Amino acid sequence: MKYVLTSFFVFIITINLQAQSYLDYYFKSNNINGAIVIYDENKDEWLFNTETEPFYNTPAATHFHLWQALVGLEERVYKIDVKDKMKWDGVKRYFFDERCTQWNQDTNLIDAIKYKNDWYFDVLKEKLSPENYNLNIKNAPLLKEIKNNDLSYFWNYAANTNPNTMILFLKDLYDNNLPFSKKSQQFIYNQLLIDQKLAVHTSTTSFEGKKIDWTIGIYLKHKKPIYFSLRTYTPLDSEKLDDYEKRKNLILAEIFNVLGY
């Protein structure tokens, strides 16, 4: 079975290509280079600070784990049961030169999503049939630009997607409209919940000489959800701000405040 996303085509027809450039102020005032895309379902309104941001492709990185998890659940490679752990192969792994101790142990699906464990999701290459893996992972509809899907962990640097695709993916996940069982979709959505008002997923990768931190999420304060994508771009040769996370969160809070969310 091929799992297909259909919402993307609706997006092309309905999006209003007019940037709200005043939102740039909140990035500049916090000394961070970045961009935001918002879909407010209450108003059926798309907002973004640059016209290129909704369609700008960068590596899907660990956001792709959400798709991999859904495929793996559907194909019974993974299980929801926290006691069902995949055995670690003993190889010690690092991320941006930092040792990830959470990766170096037997892991279940919940922890794999939480700690963004690439090796756990890479086992789909062995567990799925070659045809299934090629169709639903190497050429997944979540990916909009595939440069080389034969590389290990190709989603981190050789397979790209964009904010509009990720927002529509989140919308379909929230609405249980993805081509997977409702139980699987609800389980994955629950892994994103921070509290009753916010669901978030983050990814970090490097692309074209920049470190990219990418946060996607769902704000649940209003009658209908507000979906968002926030990407920041930092040159690889520059040092990360000590209070970077605080500033990034402040940008989001300030933008939501000025928009009346």
- Residue 54's pLDDT is 96
Q: Which two tokens stand for residue 50?
A: 């640059």
Per the listing, tokens 């941006």 go with 96
Domain ranges of the chain: 7-258
Domain 7-258: which CATH number of 3.90.1150.10, 3.30.300.20, 3.40.710.10, 2.115.10.20:
3.40.710.10
Looking at per-residue confidence, does 13 or 181 come out higher?
181
Q: What confidence tens digit (pLDDT) does each residue in 110-131 have?
A: 999 999 999 999 999 999 999 9
Helix (H) or strand (E) holding 188: helix 182-192
Cα separation, 29 vs 191, in Å, equals: 32
Q: What confidence tens digit (pLDDT) does each residue in 11-61 have?
A: 444 455 567 889 999 999 999 999 999 999 999 999 999 999 999 999 999
Q: What angle do CA 88, 92, 94 make, to 5 degrees?
A: 120
139-163 average pLDDT score: 96
224-233 average pLDDT score: 98
- Residue 169's pLDDT is 98
Q: Which two tokens stand for residue 167?
A: 């927002």
Helix (H) or strand (E) holding 111: helix 109-114
- Residue 14's pLDDT is 47
Task: Give, as one character, the DSSP assignment of residue 136.
Answer: I
pLDDT band at 6 (very low <50, low <70, confident <90, very high): low
- Residue 242's pLDDT is 87
- Residue 211's pLDDT is 94
229-250 average pLDDT score: 93
Give percent of the chain above pLDDT 70: 93
- Residue 9's pLDDT is 44
Give yes or no for residue 109 having a pLDDT over 70.
Answer: yes
Task: Give, as one character, the DSSP assignment of residue 107.
Answer: B
Contact 48/38 with Cβ under 8 angstroms?
yes
